[in-house]
Every structure is written in structure tokens, then in C-alpha cells.
Amino acid sequence: MSKKWFELALDAPENARHVLGISGGKDSAALAVYIKDNYPQISEKMEYFFTDTGAELQEVYDTLDKLEAYLGKPINRLSSSRDFNHWLTLHDNMLPSVKARWCTRVLKIKPFEEFVGNDPVISYVGIRADENREGYISQKETIKAVFPFSEDGIVRDDVFRILEESIGIPEYYQWRSRSGCFFCFFQRQDEWLGLKRRHPELFQKALEMEKNVGQRKFDWGASERIESGNGYTWNQSGTLNEIVIRAEEKESSESEKCKKENIKWQDIL
């Protein structure tokens, strides 16, 4: 019978480092709280880190501050030492996408692997029991990943409960479904609209980056590679302006539908 995650953690060599990456999202934050509250002997050894892309929402930094206070430990702030525009230039001004996630590799994975070096490491990953994914698993033999939530049966509702009882739920969940850069290509149409309304200055930055890259692509001609959807938009469904217009139309349509349903219900009464 294979060992449980905490048995592997406790049996790790004395010189092994225990690390937990904080993304600024709900799962990693809840995992840090969960281990501190339920496995103090492991929490004492834990090193926390956050890889800063330089394009995070203010709500993410607010969550980090609250978490540091709760844990009673600092969260190491890592970075690639260069901003996003530098890496964008090195990648032929091709915006990242689901098929070309170069941003994750250079802004997240590389700083993490430099942080741990060649030390033996136990890496704690916040994938839940109700998720069907692996997440990032390092190929380095010195890094062993463990999944406390997955093994302990912790699901989405549990995560929100853990946060509500400790540091609170990150505020951006009021309009967004996940953490990440303000221009993250995983955002849905309504989330881009949420960014425009709550952080108009950041939406404008994303708009300008898309416009600048699109102009360069057009100047270079149609022979340029286009594996990121269009290669010059954040979303393969269209430009940001087109996306938020559709989101506003959908929102308006749903609002009208609700009004009609309310009127019909009143008539029935």
C-alpha cells in the first residue's frame, strides 16, 4: 500500500525542503491554512513562495498580506527579474495562449526551479479531490509533489469554508473565476468585462498590448506563425473590444429576460 502524502512528508530526508507555492488564488491559500491548522509538524518546516509576474491584480497582493499574517511566516516573493514586455519581445511578440503558454514557463516555472535549486524538495500542490487534472509537475528528480487536498477528500466547498473561517475569500472572486495576470487568456468574456469595470486602467493596458502586437503582426505579413489563436489577440474569439461588447449584449439580454419572467410571474399571481 502506498504511503499517504503526510507520511511521505514526515519520512522525507532531514535536509529536504518543504515548499508550497501561493498563486494568490483560493486553492493554494486554503492549502497553506489547512496544513497549518491540521499538520503543525509539517507547517513548521514549510517555505512559502509567490512568483510575481509583475502583472498581478491588487487583490492578489492583499490576499498575500492576509495570509502572511495568518501563517506567521513570510511568503518569498520570486520573479523572473524581467517584465512581461521583455519576454513578449523574445517570443516574437506572440501573445501567450492555451496552446503556447510560454508565460507560465518563463514567469512561473523557471523562477521556482531556481528558488529550489538542486535541493531535495517536497512540493505541496493544491489540486482538490473534485478536480481531474495534474497541474504542473516538475521533471526534476529532486522534486517530489504531494497532493493533500486530493488525498484528504477536500473539494471546492471545503476550500471556500476554510478561507471564510480564516483569511477571507480573495475579493476578485466576486467577478473572476481564477487568479492570474490581469490579461490572462483563460478569462471568459464576462471576466474581461469585469476587468474593464473594476480595473479600467489595467483593461486599457491589455487593450494597448493587443493593439501593438496586432499591428506588428500585420506589418510582418500573413506568413508569421499564428498558433496562439490569432497570434495577436488575447482571446481567439476576437479582440478585447469585440469580446466586451458581446459580454455587455449578453448581460443586457439576460437582464431583459429576467424582467419579462418577473412580469409574467406577477401576472400569474
pLDDT of residue 88: 87
Amino acid at 134: E
pLDDT of residue 243: 93
Show the cell assigned to 109.
516555472
Give the pLDDT confidence of 26-77 residue by residue, as tens digits: 999 999 999 999 999 999 999 999 999 999 999 999 999 999 999 999 999 9
pLDDT of residue 220: 40
pLDDT at residue 81 above 60?
A: yes
Q: Are 156 and 28 in contact (CB under 8 A)?
A: no
Q: Please give the residue that has the higher pLDDT: either 164 or 83.
A: 164
Report the distance separating Cα 25 and Cα 63, nearest Å. Answer: 8
Q: Are 84 and 53 in contact (CB under 8 A)?
A: yes
Q: Please give the residue that has the higher pLDDT: either 100 or 167.
A: 167
pLDDT of residue 218: 45
Q: Measure the CA angle with vertex 103, ends 238 and 27; round to 5°.
A: 95
Report the distance separating Cα 3 and Cα 160, nearest Å. Answer: 28
Report the distance separating Cα 194 and Cα 253, nearest Å. Answer: 17
Q: What is the mean pLDDT of residues 3-15?
A: 90
What is the rounded average pLDDT for all residues in the chain? 86
pLDDT at residue 82 above 90?
A: no
Give the pLDDT confidence of 194-251 residue by residue, as tens digits: 999 999 999 999 999 888 886 655 444 444 444 334 457 888 888 999 999 999 999 8
pLDDT of residue 211: 86
Give the pLDDT confidence of 140-160 residue by residue, as tens digits: 788 999 999 999 999 999 999
Give the pLDDT confidence of 99-118 residue by residue, as tens digits: 888 898 899 989 999 999 99
Concatenating the DSSP letter of every residue in 89-132 gives HHTTTPPP-SS--HHHIIIIIHHHHHHHTTS-EEEE----TT--
Q: Count the residues in the chain.
A: 269
Q: For the whole model, what pTM was predicted?
A: 0.84
Within its chain, how far is the Cα of 158 from the centroid? 19
Q: What is the mean pLDDT of residues 246-266?
A: 76
